[in-house]
Amino acid sequence: MSRPDAPSGGQDGKAVRAALAQATRRLAPVTDTPRLDAELLMAHALGCSRDELLLGRLDATAPADFGSLVERRLSREPVAYIVGRRAFWTIDIEVGPGVLVPRPDSETLIEAALDLFGKGSPATILDLGTGPGTLVLAALDQWPGARGVGVDRSDAALDFARRNADRLGLSRRVRFVRGDWGEGIEEKFELVLCNPPYVEADALLAPDISEWEPAEALYAGADGLGAYRRIAPQLGRLLAPRGAACIEVGAGQHDRAAALFAEQGFTVSSRADLSGVSRCLILRPGSRA
């Protein structure tokens, strides 16, 4: 529910559109999307959606706390942490310090899974490295008859995941467990989803990422392939005979990551993101050479 328009005397009496223009100029040196960031922060301050902001709130008085939100963004805090959520696929995911912010690249895994199952549905879904529950909850929202398990080593991430499941009305269909990838999991699943860390240890990331998001969810050894080396030998016993896995890979990693899974006997195909970058390995059980 939206708050009523702020009374006269909000952010020095500025109208929302003027405050947005000023914030956009200030944010330009620290973000590639200064206007979008400003709009998301303003919508949060007003307690409305971005669409509501743009369609009917631009002439309202800017709320007094908008300036403090802009200051947080100027310190390179991610917008998703400031507003406490991030849209992903068909759902909103609650996020904050300690969890990876969901990104559009990862939606490629859901798209690939939809193509794999067509008009059908996987009965069981496993999300390895679930973080705040991003992939498994998006999948369960897509397939109402499915049940899922999310695994993560981080207690903070699992707390977010459980809250997200409760808020989305999915808690009866998903179980979140603390674990190290697939170790100790005895069940088999028709769909395995995974967005592992894949950044090289010496890679330079934007401060919004490197100074705020958890390193263990980002970095994976000198070549960025450490998590794939862990997951590849475990995957065979986690997949049902006719199951499939959708594993995210970083830009330029397709061939090297695919080789690790091919060595374990999987047939490998891929799906590109909207930029044409190979982003998702699609793995099916196959006969070993």
What's the whole-model pTM score? 0.91
DSSP state of 276: S
CATH of the domain at 200: 3.40.50.150
Q: For residue 14, what pLDDT is reported? A: 87
Question: Is the same domain home to 187 and 128?
Answer: yes
pLDDT band at 288 (very low <50, low <70, confident <90, very high): very low
The token pair at 182 is: 């697939």
194 versus 274: which is more confidently predicted? 194
For residue 147, the one-letter residue type is: R
Question: Is the same domain home to 216 and 272?
Answer: yes
Give the chain's domain count.
2
Average pLDDT over residues 48-59: 96
Q: How far are the Cα atoms of 109, 143, 176, 232, 252 from residue 193, in angstroms, in the given order?
A: 7, 14, 14, 13, 20
Average pLDDT over residues 55-64: 95
Question: Is the same domain home to 25 and 109?
Answer: no
Q: Which of 75, 104, 126 is the last residue of a domain?
A: 75
Other beta carbons within 10 Å of 75: 11
Query: What whole-number distance in Å separates Cα of residue 263 and Cα of residue 232?
Result: 9
User: Does residue 69 register a pLDDT over 60?
Assistant: yes
Residue 38's Cα: distance from chain center in Å?
21
CB distance 196 to 227 below 8 Å: yes
Question: Is the same domain home to 93 and 70?
Answer: no
CB distance 202 to 215 below 8 Å: no
Question: Is the same domain home to 152 and 116?
Answer: yes
Query: What whole-number distance in Å separates Cα of residue 208 and Cα of residue 146?
Result: 35
Query: What whole-number distance in Å separates Cα of residue 91 and Cα of residue 213?
Result: 21
pLDDT above 70: percentage of residues in the chain: 94
pLDDT band at 11 (very low <50, low <70, confident <90, very high): low
Q: For residue 3, what pLDDT is reported? A: 39
State which residues form the domain around 98: 89-285
| 73-130 pLDDT tens trace | 999 999 999 999 999 999 999 999 999 999 999 999 999 999 999 999 999 999 999 9
8 in a structural domain: no
Question: Is the same domain home to 57 and 97?
Answer: no
Average pLDDT over residues 240-269: 96
CA angle 216, 214, 99 (to 5 degrees): 110
Phi, psi of 42 (to 5 degrees): -65, -45
DSSP state of 2: P
Question: Is the same domain home to 123 and 54?
Answer: no
Average pLDDT over residues 117-144: 97
Question: Is the same domain home to 65 and 109?
Answer: no
DSSP state of 225: -
Task: Tell me what the pLDDT averaged over the chain comes to.
Answer: 94
Q: For residue 5, what pLDDT is reported? A: 40
For residue 59, the one-letter residue type is: D
Q: For residue 12, what pLDDT is reported? A: 58
Question: Is the same domain home to 134 and 108?
Answer: yes
pLDDT above 90: percentage of residues in the chain: 93
| 205-236 pLDDT tens trace | 999 999 999 999 999 999 999 999 999 999 99
pLDDT band at 6 (very low <50, low <70, confident <90, very high): very low
The token pair at 158 is: 């699992």
Question: Is the same domain home to 68 and 98?
Answer: no
Beta carbons within 8 Å of 68's beta carbon, 6+ residues apart: none
Question: Is the same domain home to 247 and 122?
Answer: yes
